[in-house]
Every structure is written in C-alpha cells, then in structure tokens.
A and B are shown apart, each in its own frame.
Chain A
Amino acid sequence: MNRSTFRKIWGDLWTRKSRTILVSVSIFIGVLGVVTLITAGDLLVRQLKADVKESELPMLAANVVVPPSEGDVTLDDATYLDALTEAFPDITAIEGSSNNPFYWKLPDEGRFREARLFAYTDAMSDKPVEPMRLVEGDYPQPGQHQLVVEQRMADDFDLSVGDAIDVRMLGEDEFPTETWTISGIVFHAYNQLSDQSMYALYDEAPAATGVSGLSTISARFDDFAQAEANKDAFQTFVNDNTPYSALIVQATDPADNAAIQSSEDFALILSVLAIVSMLVSGFLVLNVINNLVTEQRRQIGVMKSLGTTRGEMFVIYGGIAVSYGLIGVIPGVLLGIPLGYEMAVLIGDFANTLIDTFAVSTTAIALGIVLGLAVPVISAVIPVYIGTRVSILDAMTDLGIGGGYNVGLLNRTIKALPVPLNIKQSLNNLTQKKARLALTVITLTLALSAFMGVSAVFVQINSVLQDILDTFGYQIIFQTTQSQEFEPIQTLLMDNIDGIAEVYPGSGGIVQLEGYISESNQSSQMLVQGIVPETAMTDSTLVEGTAWENDPEREGIVLTNEITNSIGKGVGDTVTLIANGQRLEQEIIGVVNYPIPMGIMPWEDLSRLTGFTLGAPTPNQYFTGVQIDDYSGTLPGGAITAWGVDSQAAGFVTMLDGSPITPGQPGVMLTQAAADAGGYAVGDTITVRAGDCMATGDPDAADPAVCTATVPITGIFMPPSQMASSQIPQDMMAIYWEDLATMEGLNLNGEPVPNAFFVLTQAADPTAREVDGLIENVNDLLVDNGITASYTNMVEIADQASDAILSIGIVLNMASFIMAAVGAIGLITTLSIAVFERQKEIGVMRSVGAKSPTIIMQFLVEGLLVGIIAWIIAAPVSVGLAWGITEILPFGEFIQFDYPPVMLPVGFVGILIIATISSVWPSVSAARKTVSDILRYQ
C-alpha cells in the first residue's frame, strides 16, 4: 500500500469520524457477541465433556423401592446385584445406590437443614459407574461417622475437611443427634443435586436417613443395544427375584448424554445468534461502503481520470473496511474473552458443571478475529465493485437533487396514497434507494426477529412453568420415609400447626401405558399424578370431557393432550395401565392441555396400582382368630387360631390324616390338638365364623353369607416346627388365605396409602421463606411423633425455576440485545448517510419555510417506516425462530410450541423505540444544518 492510498484511507476514516465510530462499534458488538457467546458455549461443553465420560455412564438405570406390601424384609443387596450380573452376562459393571433425604446442621445452628445422602454398594474410590473425584481429604472410614461433601455444596455452605456437623439419626429411636465429620470434599460431575449432596458408607447411611436399601440400580452392558434389548427383562428380573419393585427402568445411550447434548445444543444456539449478529454487522458495513462509494462518485471519477485502477480502488475501500474491522475487533476480542468466561460460569451453574479455572476458547477468539475482519471486507466487495464501475463522465456529472430519480410503479402507488406530504416524501425517499432499504430492513429484521423469537421462547417457558406450578395449587409436598395412613397425619397437622388451610393425600408414580410411546424417551412409561378429585387441586383446563367435575367418585383417568394425540384416543375410550405387575383398565374421562405428558387419576387407584398399600394379608404369614360353632379349645368363646395358607404351603405341611385343602374348594385342615378339642375327624363339617360374624351383639351387622362358612375338614396336619416354639396355640385351623381374607372382609391387595401429602397454606401467596417456616414446623411436629419425611417447597422451586429461566433468558436476551444494538446502529448509520446525501433537500426545505421539527419529523418518519417494514417481516420470521429454539432447547420436548401473541405488540413497540432512538440523532443532526452551511459546500 503506497503512502497516498494510506492517506486516502486515513482521510476517509478521520473525516467521517462519527460514521467510523458507528460502524466500528457495530463490528465491536458483533465480535464481542461472537467471542463471548462462543466462548461461553465452548467452555461449557469442554468442561462437561471433561467431567462426563461416555465410558463411565450407565446404560440402564432402575429406580427401585421396596413396596410397603413386602413388609419388613431383610435386604441382601450384594446378592441381588450378583444375581443380576449372573442373569445378564452382558453386564460389564453394576452398582446399587441409595439417595435419601437426611438432616444436618452446623453445631452452632438451631434448626436442621435437609440434604441428600448418597451411598453406594461399591467403595466411593472405586465406583464402577459415574465415578467421583476426591478433591481434598479422604473417603469415609468405617465406624468413624464420616462423610464426604460435594464440592459445590461445600462451597455453598463453606464446609471444609475436618468440620464437624450434627446429623439427626433418623434410623434410630427418638432420632438422636450425632456428630459426624467431613473427611473429604469430592467433585461428582454426574450428580444432578450437587449443591445439596453428601456421601456416606452404604452400611452407615441408613442410620442417618432411616431408610435401608437401594434407590437405584445402574448397569453398563457390552454395548447400548444389549442394554436396550434387556431393559424389560431387567425390570422383570428385579420385580420377580428381589423384594424391590423397579418402578422405572431407563435405557440411556451414553453416546447421547442429555447433559452434553443439551449443552451442545445451547452452545449451538449461542453460536448461531453470535454469527447472526456478526452478519448483521456485515450488512451494516455493506451499507456503509455502498454509501461511501456513492458519496465519492466524483472522487472516484477524478481518481480514474488520474489513472487509478479498479484494483487500487479495491485496496482503498477494502482498506477502509479492514480498518473498521480492526477498530472493532481488538476491543471486541479483548472484552469478549473475560465476558465469555463469566457467562460460562453462570450457565455452568445451571448445566450442573463447575467452571472454576479461567480458560479461553481459541475457537471463539479465532472466529471473532476472522469474522471481524473478513465480514467487513467481504461486505465491501459488492458495493466497491459496483461503485467503481462508474464512468468518469457519469461521476463528474452532477445534476443536483433532481437528477436520476426513478419513477416506477411503487412511486405511482405512493403518489395515490391519501397520506400527508411528509409521509409520502418519506416513502418515496425510502423506495428510491431500494438496495439500501433492503439492507437496512434486513439488518433490522434480523435483529428484531432474534429479539422477538428469543423473547417469545422466554415468555413461553415462563408461561409453561407457571402452568405447571398453577395446576397443582399446593405450596408444600412431603413424602414420609415410612408409609403412613392419611387421616392421622392430616389430624396431627391440622390440629397443631397454624397457617395450614388443608392437607390432601396424593401419590405419584410411573406407569406403563399400553400403546403409548413417549416422544422424549421412546418408552411407554408415563408419569401419573394421584389426586383427590373432589378437591380443587387441579385447575388444568379441560379441553375435552368433564373429568370429576360432576362426579368426584367417578373412576377414570385424565390424560394430557400430547398423550391422547399419541395414542389416538379420546374421552370415552379405555386405556390399559400397567405397574407393579398389575394391569388396570381405565376410561379416559378428560383431556387437559398441559406442558408435561402425564395422567391424573384418584390417588387411591394409583397407589393400589403401584403397590402403595398397607394391611394386605400375606399368605402363610396370615394368622387371625375365628370361631367354630360348638367348639371349645385353648381360646375362649369357641375361638381358634386360623392360619391363612396358600396352595404351596398347604402342600408342604405334614398330613397326619386326610388330604390338604385345595384352592377353590371349600375345606379346612385342623391340627391334631384342634381335632381332639372339638372331637372332629376328617370328613366332618364345621361352621366357621370370622370378621364381623364374630362376637357381635347385633346379628344384623354382618352378612353371614360372607363371614360364615360351613366347610368340611379335609385333613389333620402337623404344624411346622417353627410354630411349635411360638406363642401360637397348638389347636389351630388352616384355611386357604384368600377365603379367610374374604370372610374377614379384607382387601387382598391391602388399603392404599398415599406416598405424598400435599399442604395448602392459608396465605394465598406466601413467600418461599414463609413456606420454609411452615415446613420447619411440620417437620418438628412429625419428628416429635416419630415420622420422618422429605419436603418440597413448591414456592421455592418456582422461585428457583424463575431464576434459572431468568438466567437463561439473560443470556439469550443478551444475544438478541447485541443484534438489536447492531440493528439500531445500522439504522443510525443509514439515516446519517441519508442526512448527508440529502443536505440539499434539507436546505431547500428550510429555504421554503421548513422548521426544525419538520426536518426532524421527516427523518423520524423514515426511520419508523423502516422499523415497521422490518417488524412486518420479522413477525413471521420470529415465529419460525422461536419454534427452532424451542426444538433445540434441552427442555424443549416439554413445551408444546405456542407463539405468545403478546410478542407482536411487544416487538412493534420495541422496534418503534429502537427506530425512534436510532432516528433521533440523524434527525436532529439534519435539523441543525443551516441552509448557508449546506449551500456553501455544494
């Protein structure tokens, strides 16, 4: 580049300082956006990939519980895991884990805090799946009352190795407080509850949590296909061969890790937004260079007449574009690096990763520099090419402001419009420079589309969240560690705690819905919420059917519309639910519009289906008292011990005479002592009274057809040896257990119990802190009554969700703000150029009497018209963009895309504001021009 070329470039940059600043600021913002957003996404994905390794992720995860119907069983988890390994030879690693709430506090604190205590069947240092990393200290030693804390929880609560904490021992009587020591700090990338997680040895955790047994069984297979193929068999094996019930078994391909996938998707959104903002800058540069060469037509003509080649002119105008780029790139990159890191830290918090070491993304920096320099240069090529094609003669000819004005169909149309002169003038001015109008409109449209699209998603997420929180209008959910009857809990709370409006029983569970394939996980499993139909717990909008509105006792299920659409059924059709080995036919009695696919049904029906029942008779362990007419044995009043047996036990007992009972055929067996006491022999008939038919003074109170049976004695049996040493009287009657239960009026499946309790506060709109206070009172009361539970503060969840959404919204809106800023600068620049170009016009207007407000209004109207045109195009574009972002977002599958109409007026007002602000400076600048200034330099 020779000296004169350099001087020419410098001269143009310096002479039009304002324009240089505007364009460079626009590129700066674009580069800042590229470096910041791509750095944030890059660092996030990089950190997650470093933390979450495909080879360490489980392929099958079974959430297991011991159903209450199993009673008190002694668990042998190691044996169950070994059995699974044997049954599924393709398993390469298997681990059992427990995850339960527990209560802890610092020694000087008054009240306990809730956290999660994790424990694993394998040593923490040698976890076969989802390993953790010891950051500081040591893993817990047996018998030392030690635990380790997740780093993020330790950071939040300022916990260090060696610190002592008080732990409420929920597994011991009276829940004493013990002192445990933090032996180490760990980083556990796979833990989604990292900021509230502590870890203890598997054998020691139950003492603190009060819960024995596993919560999850995780397994890896040789490959994912095998895991997927064995999913159902795995679930069946757990249900049939262990005391556990596998509620849900999820097969997840480690190669498609949701966390990494979500972060990559999010990073992609950020990158796209960043690059779009850079492109918007590019349009602006194109616009400016286009105007620059138009403005310098005469100069170009002079240069050509002096022998300057087009190549040299490319160097000049390309040099100007590069200079704009350089001025913007340097601060953009320098500021984008720390900003990107900070943003990564912010997003990392929500993506469950920890970015605690400053890092840079070379990709982002390289892209920022390349785009920052290349986009302006590439943008300059076309206008320079076109601009330098001008002939010397054309360039030197100036016909004043009347020259070269095109009159086409558009102008004729505008001429016919019944609008004021100044609007007509604005419309004509705009349409006269169609290429510029197109570029400016594209710039603003991109910016506005991004703003409206991103904001639409933000509004939609907020709305969905609110729907979720509003549908079940309770403030507290608690789940007791042990199954509890509802009424005692309700009475206890309502009688003793102020501020509670109502307590409802409820349940939640995962069931299989025949014929349904979930879009999100390709399984037939569906979340079902168990409610009390006669209460106002749901205010979901019914789009079909009446649910329980007219009949709270009605049997049936309400499904969300995504599910009914998926299975092609509606109100009045029947669906089959499968859980815990049981099938239940239910009529669809309503369809609701709800963002999460789920079913809603009476909680008792759900608890029965999922096995949450108490009091069910267990064959062979079922002992009760009955009466035999005219019998006199060990027990008074003709009573005798009845033993409910199944066919297997009946076949195993030693028969002294006759034959065992046969299920489905009437008959009883007696011990020799009973036969002797009653003087009975095989083949005799006795009349047995049970349940309500026993010892009642009112014969009408019972239905003899049910609780009385006259049956033959089929045999005399010898009680099993362990019974001989028990307190059970030797005179005993054995009867088929189902017949006995029927006579006693017992439900074979037991009575349903809630697995959740919902609390409504008296305050209509309590704060999270107020709800916390209420939870503490409830917890204290329940603990005093020997009941432990885990609590969910729905108000706090709503607040946290709002915060999380707000943070994501801040990031997304920052991207759209960048584009809006670039768009605004684009409009400012375009209008400034228009002001410069139309100085003569301004002079003429002034000379015929136009005052400043008239001039200002002229350019303001032009700016607003550009904005309105951009809005008209941006509105449908933003709908598509919002749809795209919703599809990409991690939780997108929960959101049924529905563009919020409010975005249209918001976008309109937004563009009016942007257009007004952007137009003010050029307009005022135009109005400040005096006629003499204008005419003097013509």
Chain B
Amino acid sequence: MDKLISLQQVHKTYKIKGGLIRALNGVDFEVEQGEFVALVGPSGSGKSTLINMITGIDRPTNGEVYVAGQRLTHMNEDQVAEWRGKNVGVVFQFFQLLPSLTVIENVIMPMTYAGTYKNGRRERAMELLELVDLVDIADKYPSQVSGGQQQRAAIARALANDPPLIVGDEPTGNLDSVSSGLMFSLFEDLVAQGKTMVMVTHDKDLAGKVPRVQEVRDGRLLGGEEINRRLVGASAGR
C-alpha cells in the first residue's frame, strides 16, 4: 500500500510563560492508504498535537510532514486550508457545526470553499446526509437536532469533498454508547470503501476494535506490541 501519511522526526515545542512544553519529541509515523488507525494515550501525551500535524492545523517545530503527497511544512496557512478542504475530512469532539447554517448548509460549506461540485452541491450534500441517515433533518439548524445527529452531520461535512483521509479528534467523546457504536460502524464502512481513518480516542473498547492502535506518551509513539498487550489486558481485567 502507498503511504498516505508520513511524519519524519517531528518535534513540536510550545513556549509558555513558565518555559517550554515538548508536545512531540521526534515522532516518526506512517499510515498506509486505507488504514484505520487509533491514537490513544493519556491527556497531554501529544495525541491531538500529532493529529493537528497530520491535518496541517499545526506546524512542527522540526521535522517533515507529508500527507497525500504534499509536504505540509512548506505550505502557508491558506495553502494548507485549501489543501485540507480537498484532502482531509476533520471530525471534532464537539461536532462544531456552524450554528448559523442549517445541517445541509454545513455540509455544502466545504464544497463552496473548495469550489467543487459547482452544479450539484445540494444533491451531493443530500447523498452524504442519506449516507449518515440525516435526510429528514437536512433543513434544521444544529441547535434543533441531537448530539448524535450533529456528529453524523459533521461526518457528512467531513466527506463533502470526498477526501482520502478522515481525521477525528475524539469523534465519539461526546456521545452516548449507542451513538458512539453507530458512529464507529460508520467509520468502519468508510474505511471499507477505501478511506483512510485516523482518530484519537480515550475509549479503550473502541480502540480495541481498530486494526491498528498507536499509543502516544510524552510526545513519543510507543511500539505496537506493547499497546496491543495493554489493550488485551484491559479487556481481560474487566
């Protein structure tokens, strides 16, 4: 398989009043196209920073980031935004639908920014909403629908421009277990259709179902065997 994501010796340091925080410390990370990867780890370990490196939301202090054939470290903010709009679908923990737009308008929004589907944006949006079973609430505002529906709408939005990569930062973190299970099934379906999925999660049960789990700790990636052992141990101890 081709490498869709390649992080090479990525360091990220934040300056704060008290000194420096090393969020990532020489991370090498590769993801093949069509992989489903879960990033796990305690709070402050660097998971979200790593995800932000992949989406181009944040820049490394050192190292290189290649995603979908692009060297993100040499692109400016607008170039990254344009690239991200076409190549990465981002799903946030708190859904982050724009409250001033209806559900379908939220889905149309990325197409407008990317200039895609100029003659059939609404139709495309309806297809995606059908995919996530939200056709009935297409014209409702986010505040009028449930959290689970909002998150599914967020996934539809992430798929708007048919990106090869879907990135989720705790996409099920704010959902109940039923909604969470449905959401995960949706992710599995997307991967089955050829999308690449990288998500951060604290949910060990969920992580246990993901083919590849990568733990982040103190800004470093731990080896895959140790993680699997922990996950198995965690399941057995329950």
User: Is A932 touching B58 in the complex (CB atoms < 8 A)?
Assistant: yes
A432 to B142, CA, bound (A): 14
* Residue of chain A at shortest CB distance from B143: A405
Query: CB-nearest residue of chain B relative to A428?
Result: B100
User: In the complex, A850 Cα to B115 Cα: how many Å?
Assistant: 11
Q: Are B101 and A403 in contact (CB under 8 A)?
A: no
Q: Of B79-87, B127-135, B195-203, B205-213, which stretch is located at the interface?
A: B79-87
CA distance A166 to B61 in the complex (A): 89
Q: Is the CB of A405 within 8 A of B113?
A: no
- Give B132-163 as 1s and 0s: 1 = Cβ < 8 Å from A's Cβ atoms: 00000001011110000010000001101100
Identify the closest chain B residue to A846 (Cβ): B81
Residues of A within 8 A of B58 (CB): 930-932
Report if B108 contacts A (CB, 8 A): yes
A843 to B160, CA, bound (A): 18
Flag if B98 contacts A407 (CB, 8 Å).
Answer: no
A421-B109, A935-B52 are known contacts. Are A849 and B96 too (CB-CB below 8 A)? no
Identify A852's interface contact among B14, B59, B77, CB under 8 A: B77
Query: CA of A390 to CA of B58 in the docked complex: distance in angstroms?
Result: 36
* Among A402, A421, A432, A847, contact of B90 (Cβ-Cβ < 8 Å): A847
Cβ distance A837 to chain B, nearest Cβ, rounded Å: 12
Taking the closest CB of chain B, its distance from the CB of A314, in whole angstroms, is 31
CB pair B143 A404 closer than 8 Å: yes
Q: Does B55 contact A (CB under 8 A)?
A: yes
Q: Are B114 and A849 in contact (CB under 8 A)?
A: yes
In the bound complex, residues from chain B placing their C-beta under 8 Å from that of A411 are 141
Closest to A852 in B: B78
Q: How far is the CA of A843 from the CA of B55 in the complex (A)?
A: 13
Q: Does A415 contact B (CB under 8 A)?
A: yes
Closest to A431 in B: B100
Known: A401-B99, A415-B102, A429-B100. A848 touches B157 (CB 8 A): yes
Say which residue of B52, B59, B141 sits within 8 Å of A405 (CB atoms): B141
Contact (Cβ within 8 A) B102 A400: no
Q: Are A415 and B52 closer than 8 Å at their CB atoms?
A: no
A776 close to chain B: CB less than 8 A: no
Known contacts: A400-B96, A421-B101. The answer to whether A849 contacts B86 by CB under 8 A is yes
Nearest residue, chain A, Cβ from B157:
A848
Task: Assess whether A583 is interfacial by the CB under 8 Å rule.
Answer: no
Q: How far is the CA of A421 from the CA of B115 in the complex (A)?
A: 13
Residues of A within 8 Å of B158, CB to CB, are 848
CB pair B52–A848 under 8 Å, yes or no, is no
In the complex, B92 has a CB within 8 A of chain A = yes
Residue of A with least CB distance to B101: A425
Interface residues of A in 124-157 (CB under 8 A from B): none
User: Across the interface, do A848 and B150 meet the contact criterion of CB distance under 8 Å?
Assistant: no
Complex interface: chain A residues within 8 A of B160 (CB): 848
Interface residues of A in 650-684 (CB under 8 A from B): none
Contact of A932 with B143 in the complex, beta carbons under 8 Å: no
Q: Is the CB of B41 closer than 8 A to any CB of chain A?
A: no
Q: Is the CB of B96 within 8 A of A402?
A: yes
With a cutoff of 8 Å between Cβ atoms, the chain B residues found around residue A840 in the complex are 96
Q: Given the complex, which residues of B lie within 8 Å of A402, measured CB to CB?
A: 94-97, 99, 142-143, 150
User: Could you tell me the dominant secondary structure of chain B's interface residues?
Assistant: helix
Contact at A854–B57, with CB atoms within 8 Å?
no
Name A929's closest neighbour in chain B (CB-CB): B77
Please tell me if A851 contacts chain B, counting CB pairs below 8 Å: yes
A421 partner, pick from B57, B96, B112, B114, beta carbons under 8 A? B112
When chains A and B are docked, how far (Å) is the Cα of A407 from the Cα of B14? 40
Complex interface residues of chain B between 42 and 75 (CB less than 8 A to chain A): 48, 52, 55, 57-59
Q: Assess whether B170 is interfacial by the CB under 8 Å rule.
A: no
Are the C-beta atoms of B81 and A851 separated by less than 8 Å? yes
B171 within 8 A of partner (CB):
no
Question: In the complex the two chains form, what is the Cα distance from A425 to B90 in whole Å?
Answer: 21
Q: How far is B139's CA from A628's CA once the two chains are assembled, in angstroms?
A: 118
Q: A844 on the interface (CB 8 Å rule)?
A: yes
Give bound CA distance, A401 to B96, whole Å.
Answer: 6
A405, A422, A429, A851: the one within 8 Å of B142 (CB): A405
**Most central of A415, A432, A930, A931 by chain B CB within 10 Å:** A931
Give the chain B neighbours of A422 by CB distance below 8 A. Answer: 112
Q: Are A421 and B141 in contact (CB under 8 A)?
A: no
Complex: A931 Cα to B108 Cα, angstroms: 20
Contacts of A850 in B (CB 8 A): 81, 85, 113
Q: Which of A403, A428, A849, A936 contacts B85 (CB 8 A)?
A: A849
Q: How many Å lie between the Cα of A415 and that of B113 in the bound state?
A: 19
Residue of A nearest to B91 (CB): A847
Report A-chain residues with C-beta under 8 Å of the C-beta of B109: 421, 845, 848
Report the minimal beta-carbon distance from B47 to chain A, rounded to whole angstroms. 13
CB within 8 Å for A849 and B99 given contacts A402-B142, A424-B105, A854-B113: no
Asked whether any CB of chain A lies closer than 8 Å to the CB of B110, the reply is: yes
The answer for the CA separation of A845 and B92 in the assembled complex, in Å, is 12
Interface 1/0s, chain B 19-50, versus A by CB < 8 A? 00000000000000000000000000000100
Which A residues between 896 and 938 are near B, CB-CB below 8 angstroms? 930-932, 935-936
Nearest-CB residue, chain A, relative to B158: A848
A401 touches B105 (CB 8 A): no
Tell whether, in the assembled complex, residue B57 and residue A935 are in contact, meaning their CB atoms are under 8 Å apart. yes
Q: A425-B101, A429-B100 are in contact. Are A847 and B95 (CB under 8 A)?
A: no
Query: Is A725 interfacial (CB-CB < 8 Å)?
Result: no
A56 within 8 A of B: no
Q: Residue A932 contacts which of B57, B78, B113 (CB distance < 8 angstroms)?
A: B57
Residues of A within 8 A of B52 (CB): 931-932, 935
Expressed in whole angstroms, the minimum distance between the Cβ of A935 and any Cβ of chain B is 7
CB neighbours (8 Å) of A405 from chain B are: 99-100, 141-143
* Chain B residues near A432 (CB-CB < 8 A): 99-100
**Closest partner residue, chain A, to B84 (CB atom):** A849
B82 — which chain A residues lie within 8 A by C-beta?
849, 851
A920 to chain B, nearest CB (A): 18
0 or 1 for each of A388-428: is its CB under 8 Å from B? (1 = yes) = 00000000000111111111000100010000111011001
The reply on A841 being an interface residue by CB < 8 A is yes
For residue A415, which residues in chain B have a CB less than 8 angstroms away from its CB? Answer: 102, 139
Residues of the B chain whose Cβ atoms lie less than 8 Å from the Cβ of A848: 84-85, 90, 109-110, 113, 157-158, 160
Residues of B within 8 A of A854 (CB): 113
Query: A420 vs B113: C-alpha distance in the bound complex, in angstroms?
Result: 12
CA distance A851 to B84 in the complex (A): 10
A854 and B114 CA atoms in complex are apart in Å by 11
CA–CA, A516 and B156, complex, Å: 81
Q: How far is the CA of A845 from the CA of B94 in the complex (A)?
A: 14
Residues of B within 8 A of A844 (CB): 92, 96-98
Tell me the A364-406 residues at the B interface (CB within 8 Å).
Answer: 399-406
Instruction: Flag if B143 contacts A400 (CB, 8 Å).
Output: no
- Within the complex, the shortest CB–CB distance from B60 to chain A, in Å, comes to 11
B84 → A minimal CB distance (Å)? 6
B78 touches A845 (CB 8 A): no
Q: A402-B142, A406-B143, A931-B57 are in contact. Are A849 and B161 (CB under 8 A)?
A: yes
Report Cα–Cα, A400/B92, bound state, in Å: 11
B48: chain A residues within 8 A (beta carbon): 935
Bound complex: CA A420 to CA B105 (Å): 10
Which of B78, B102, B105 counts the most chain A CB atoms within 10 A?
A: B78
Residue of B nearest to A406 (CB): B143
Contacts of A428 in B (CB 8 A): 99-101
- Given the complex of chains A and B, what is the CA–CA distance between A407 and B142 in angstroms? 10
Q: Do B77 and A425 have beta carbons less than 8 Å apart?
A: no
Q: Supply 20 further A-B pairs (C-beta < 8 A) apart from A407-B141, A844-B92, A852-B77.
A: A399-B94, A402-B99, A405-B143, A407-B144, A421-B105, A421-B112, A424-B100, A428-B100, A844-B96, A847-B84, A847-B90, A848-B160, A849-B81, A849-B84, A851-B78, A851-B82, A852-B78, A930-B57, A935-B48, A935-B52
Ordered nearest first, which 10 A-B pairs have the shortest CB separation? A849-B85, A428-B100, A400-B94, A405-B99, A932-B58, A405-B143, A849-B113, A848-B110, A931-B57, A851-B78
10 A-B Cβ contacts within 8 A? A401-B98, A405-B99, A405-B141, A421-B109, A847-B92, A848-B157, A849-B113, A930-B77, A932-B52, A935-B48
